[in-house]
Amino acid sequence: MSSAADLKTFALLADLSEDERELVADLLERLALDDGEQLFAEGQESEGLVLVEKGALLLSSRRAGALGQLAAGETLGAVSLVTVGPREATAVASGATHVAVLSRESFRRLADDAPRAACRMLEVALSDLASAVRDGLERFRSA
């Protein structure tokens, strides 16, 4: 993806203004992965948000095996924009895959330059996290 308008497809960035998405676009590091190429490994320190622009990432962990797939338009690691910790899974490209990474350091620059944008991104990330926790609790209650 080449423009800030393209970033609107990501729920985490959809409510940002065009100018705010432009700031985010300027901070992204873009990577092209070949089929089977590893983006990161379980246990490595998480370094930021991953946006899947094209292709897909397969996620797996040693204890749970295959965890699923992230397709174009999906994100991973929003919480790592503000917390330090190990990755809980390994991510490997499924086919030719393009991702963009917003590092923790770049997010801090965004927060300095456009605090509304950073706050809005965190609101969406926390809402998604809360939904995942509620879903997990429902599954636990049903068991």
**Which residues lie across from 100 on neighbouring strands?**
30, 51
Euclidean distance between CA atoms 133 and 141, whole angstroms: 12
**Confidence check: pLDDT of 1 > 80:** no
Euclidean distance between CA atoms 129 and 142, whole angstroms: 20
> What domains appear along the chain, each with residue ranges and CATH number?
5-136 (2.60.120.10)
**Confidence check: pLDDT of 133 > 90:** no
pTM, full prediction:
0.88
Residue 34, judged by CB atoms within 10 A of its CB (0-12, 13-18, 19+), counts as: exposed
Q: What is the pLDDT averaged over residues 21-28?
A: 95
